[in-house]
Amino acid sequence: MTETQRLIMESSCRQLLGLYLTCVDAKNLGAMLEAFAPDVEWVRPGMPPMLGHADIRTFFETLWTKQSKVTPLGDLTRHLLTTVSLQPRTEDRASGISYAMVFRARAFDGKLPAPLSEPELIVEYRDEFSRCGGDWRIRRHEARHIFRSALWQPSLSEQEVAGLNLGTAPPA
């Protein structure tokens, strides 16, 4: 990989993380999925892996619908991406480890600013990136909880996760 290619890779992968996190906070699922390869594997604590865009869509639509039954806007979240370490593997593959702090206001009533307390989570993301057709995408995404506040609650119950039927949707 030349130096120019490495700079392009680093910038592209940082941008993918930025796109993913700003879109998940804006609950913009369509734009968020553009950061991920169609055959992405997404690993989250406490549930089976999500495979492909259909599983991701099912998970987030279920989650946001559940939150919106408490208040129309659901939870207010901001995922603060801090340390990012990216490594090229080949000309078309790279891997990354990054840290994020997650702040959440549950049952957000729309009034800003929301109360700021400690982060709910400090997470570590482990990503595999691949380039296809000139564009970099996240091909595998794993979120690990490193620090967890007493404020944290699971997004979905075990029963709700089982009801997602992940891995059964036809490929896109």
**Interface residue list for other proteins (CB under 8 A):** 4, 7-8, 11-12, 14-15, 17-19, 21-22, 76, 78-82, 100-101, 103, 105, 112-118, 134
Q: Cα–Cα distances in Å, from 74 out to 3, 59, 108, 160?
A: 44, 15, 6, 17
Looking at residue 71, the DSSP 8-state letter turns out to be: S
Least distance (Å) between residue 138 CB and other proteins: 14
**42 vs 125, which CB is nearer to other proteins?**
125
**13 vs 164, which CB is nearer to other proteins?**
13
**114 vs 156, which CB is nearer to other proteins?**
114
Least distance (Å) between residue 117 CB and other proteins: 8
Q: Which two tokens stand for residue 20?
A: 């993913």
**81 vs 156, which CB is nearer to other proteins?**
81
Distance CA(159)–CA(150), nearest Å, equals 22
Nearest C-alpha neighbor of 125 from the set 94, 98, 145: 98
Nearest C-alpha neighbor of 38 from the set 128, 172, 131, 129: 172
Least distance (Å) between residue 72 CB and other proteins: 18
Distance CA(137)–CA(90), nearest Å, equals 14
Least distance (Å) between residue 147 CB and other proteins: 14
CB atoms under 10 Å from CB of 105, counted, come to 19
**18 vs 88, which CB is nearer to other proteins?**
18
